[in-house]
Amino acid sequence: MKTYQTDQIKTISLLGNSNSGKTTLAEAMLYHGGVIDRRGSVENKNTVSDYRLVEQESGNSIFSTVLYTEFQNKKINILDAPGLDDFCGGVISSLHVSDCAIMLINVQNGVEVGTEIHFRYAEKLKKPVLMAINGLDHEKANFEKSIEMMKELLSNDIVIIQYPLNEGPGFNTIIDVLKMKMLRYGKDGGKAEVLEIPSEYADKAAKLRSALIEKAAESDESLMEQFFANDTLSDEEIKKGISKSLLSRTMFPVFCISAKNNIGVDDLMDFIVSEAPSITDMPGPLNSKGEEVKVNPAGPASVFVFKTTIEEHIGEINYFRVYSGKITENLDVINTSNSTKERLAQLFVSAGRNRVKVPELHTGDIGAVVKLKNTKTNHTLNAPGNDWTYAPIEFPEPKFRIAIKAQSESDDEKLGEALYKMHVEDPTIIVEYSKELKQIIVYGQGEYHLNILKWHLDNVFKIPTSFNPPRIPYRETITKVAQADYRHKKQSGGAGQFGEVHLIIEPYEEGSTESTYMKIAGKEYKLSIRDKEEINLPWGGKLIYVNCIVGGSIDARFMPSILKGIMEKMEVGPLTGSYARDIRVYVYDGKMHPVDSNDISFRLAGRNAFSMAFKNAAPKILEPIYDVEVMVPGDRMGDVISDLQGRRGMVLGMSSEKKYEIIKAKVPLAEMNKYSTALSSLTGGRAFYTMKFAEYSQVSPDVQEAVIKAYQSEEEEE
């Protein structure tokens, strides 16, 4: 394969709602470039992009796929992204390393939910977007309605560069107002016959060209002056204006295609290689020092790994983009993300599972490498001398959680390995073993996302598993002051055990100070504070351990043992066995024995005294509360608010953004199980949400009673 220089490379992402035709368009682009000699189809399950069995069975792209094609002596790297938002990790990682996105619109449906979501992702990452209205040969094709929806739901900066002359069955003709030509395609599509625009269509074409010229002129002051002086722009000036408008995202040009019939694809590719931005036009990526890394074809070699896959018989395959210099075979580099050395023994360019070996790759190109030892997604590989890393891809917070268990204990280790591999391939799958909940919790972007994970466990890894509702990580605390003392005494021949501890506990609030006088159950306690230890608990909150021992009733050497016993009970609260938090403990008295006192005696005495006091201090259950933000169409807002309130949610406020209402609320995690499925059902899939941990808050008495009963029932079953 030919080696391409930086100025010969374009890198694009294919975006759009599921079934908008991304995979079919990719197939046509590869066919045009001679990478494949026959076009496959999604229906026949033989496309280059959706080559995995799970994708062929589901009929949807699940993973992003790295592809390339060659056209007009240029190379186009293509990242075919999934359409379903459950698999948004592939969309975000693809956009992260692209210079431009092609947004496909299914002309039957216009702007769909996935279209809006992907458009927002591109907006957040500030990527230029070309719009391709696909399926214009369908009997329900409605180009004008699609344009109206795009302007209403996406942007007023939608600009028509092409429009169909005969949409519907038999569609084969496009008017191109940039070239001011008519493009007519034969039965099998392919390369267009370029004709003059017939006179009866000249007025409409001229009007749309004027709108294009005016929009192009707005991108640059000098172009605007030229436009005012001449009432038009030259072809070169129009192209310059389009290029600037694309980079500033003030123009989203519209193209017409039928990917299935290979119509309009050649002209779209022509625009990509001639006008779409390349790596040298875009801002450089940021590094770990917050600096922009200038794209430098002549600089030291530097690449960013944006995707990792695992294939049987091969192992891990790392896909990277070159941001500086040139990468060659057998190049020694430093993984600056973990300070290890790697050797790039062989380099490949990929078209799905097909890989072609290449000797070198230049700045801007996408490549693949196998058998690296310690390199994963989001890692940076640099030539020696650069110690920084690239800013990582920021994946969205999980929206769905489930507990997973192997049906056979003998498969536990295999399950752990399989889940790790799934996380490597899809970083939006997060796996956590919760010692507290005694469950493996898997987090993802939605119920379908985790169902696909289970498909892999069942069909690829052959591990029978079950999904269970995840337990809630409750916390326990106290709401009043309590006192207790406990004597541990054991004598069984030889040295015995003796330790006695007197302590007081009280609720701790941030900023509060220690008390020196307390009255409990009519008895007064005066406390002389000698020292204190403030412990930030691993599970959140604090334990304040106050030493009030005077007169040597307990040796200082036993104080750590008492603390150890208290910590043991902090890990197992009396109500639900959950972690305890936010408690201040005063150890103010006790007794020792000159022979029998030892560390274990005071650990047990401290533990039991604390447990007795805890139960008498009006313990309460705290539950995790999440900040939830829902973006919902205005006509469904009432339903969504009612649903949130039914989940014990507290609506904090509302705002508007681009035809959407944003609802902000605080909702208990216990009420968010399968919320993504419920929200989709309520809004016809048109809403989406984010959630992030906010705080722990006391539950109401009725909820506390229900939680305790459920815990006791579960304990009895076990």
* DSSP helix/strand/coil, 538: coil
Q: Is residue 648 within 8 Å of residue 671, measured between CB atoms?
A: yes
Separation in Å, CA 152 to CA 110, 116, 162, 172, 565: 11, 11, 19, 28, 64
Of 258-272, 387-401, 675-689, the one with minimum mean pLDDT is: 675-689
Task: Evaluate whether 7-274 and 476-618 have a shared fold.
Answer: no
Per-residue model confidence (pLDDT) at position 688: 82
CATH architecture of 405-470: 2-Layer Sandwich (3.30)
Per-residue model confidence (pLDDT) at position 493: 67
| CATH number corresponding to 476-618 | 3.30.230.10
Domain boundaries, the chain: 7-274, 302-382, 405-470, 476-618, 622-716
Residue 426: other Cβ atoms inside 10 A: 27
> What is the gyration radius of the CA atoms in the chain, in angstroms?
32
DSSP, residue by residue, 136-205: TTSTT--HHHHHHHHHHHT-TTEEESEEESS-STT--EEEETTTTEEEEEETTEEEEEEEPPPHHHHHHH
pLDDT digits (tens, 9 = 90+) for 331-378: 999 999 999 999 999 999 999 999 999 999 999 999 999 999 999 999
Q: What H or E segment, with its residue span, contains residue 209?
A: helix 199-217
Q: Is residue 541 within 8 Å of residue 475, measured between CB atoms?
A: yes
Residue 389: pLDDT band (50, 70, 90) is very high
Q: What H or E segment, with its residue span, contains residue 559?
A: helix 559-570
Cα 680 to Cα 500: distance, rounded to the nearest angstrom: 59
Residues above pLDDT 70, as percent of the chain: 99
The whole-chain average pLDDT of the chain stands at: 94
Query: What are the phi and psi torsion angles at 483 (to 5°)?
Result: -125, 150
302-382, which class in CATH? mainly beta
- List strand residue ranges (DSSP E) for 9-73, in order: 9-16, 65-71
How would you list the strands of the sheet with 158-160, edge to edge? 65-71, 74-80, 9-16, 100-106, 129-134, 252-256, 158-160
In this model, does residue 632 exceed pLDDT 70?
A: yes
Per-residue model confidence (pLDDT) at position 509: 93
* DSSP helix/strand/coil, 578: coil
Alpha helices by DSSP H, 254-402: 265-274
Look up tokens 């995840």; give the residue.
Answer: 470
Per-residue model confidence (pLDDT) at position 595: 86
In this model, does residue 387 exceed pLDDT 70?
A: yes
Of 458, 415, 408, the closest CA to residue 433 belongs to 415
Question: Encoding tokens for residue 539?
Answer: 């599970």
Per-residue model confidence (pLDDT) at position 635: 87
Q: Is residue 612 within 8 Å of residue 504, measured between CB atoms?
A: no
622-716: CATH topology = Alpha-Beta Plaits (3.30.70)
Instruction: Kindly report the pTM of this predicted structure.
Output: 0.87
In this model, does residue 659 exceed pLDDT 80?
A: no
Look up tokens 């969309």; give the residue.
Answer: 91
Per-residue model confidence (pLDDT) at position 356: 95
Cα 103 to Cα 14: distance, rounded to the nearest angstrom: 6
Q: Is residue 214 within 8 Å of residue 223, measured between CB atoms?
A: no
What's the average model confidence in pLDDT over 433-437?
Answer: 88
Report the chain's terminal Cα–Cα distance, integer Å. Answer: 63
DSSP, residue by residue, 275-307: TS--TTTSPPPBBTTS-B---BTTS--EEEEEE
Question: Which 8-state DSSP code applies to residue 85?
Answer: G
Q: Is residue 514 within 8 Å of residue 532, measured between CB atoms?
A: yes
Residue 519: other Cβ atoms inside 10 A: 9
- List strand residue ranges (DSSP E) for 376-496, in order: 380-382, 400-406, 430-434, 439-444, 465-468, 475-477, 482-490
Domain 7-274 has CATH 3.90.1170.50: no
Per-residue model confidence (pLDDT) at position 673: 87
Contacts of the segment 557-562: beta carbons below 8 A, 24+ positions apart: 558/499, 558/592, 558/597, 558/599, 558/602, 559/587, 561/599, 561/600, 561/601, 561/602, 561/603, 561/606, 562/501, 562/587, 562/602, 562/603, 562/605, 562/606
pLDDT digits (tens, 9 = 90+) for 182-228: 999 998 899 999 999 999 999 999 999 999 999 999 988 889 988 88
Cα 554 to Cα 564: distance, rounded to the nearest angstrom: 15
Cα 157 to Cα 168: distance, rounded to the nearest angstrom: 26
Q: What H or E segment, with its residue span, contains residue 361?
A: strand 360-362
What's the average model confidence in pLDDT over 132-138?
Answer: 96
pLDDT digits (tens, 9 = 90+) for 106-131: 999 999 988 999 999 999 999 999 99
* DSSP helix/strand/coil, 606: helix
Residue 231: pLDDT band (50, 70, 90) is confident
Return the sign of the alpha-carbon dihedral for residues 235, 238, 242, 244. Answer: positive
Q: For the chain, how many residues are written?
A: 718
In this model, does residue 580 exceed pLDDT 80?
A: yes
Per-residue model confidence (pLDDT) at position 718: 61
DSSP, residue by residue, 435-459: TTTTEEEEEESSHHHHHHHHHHHHH
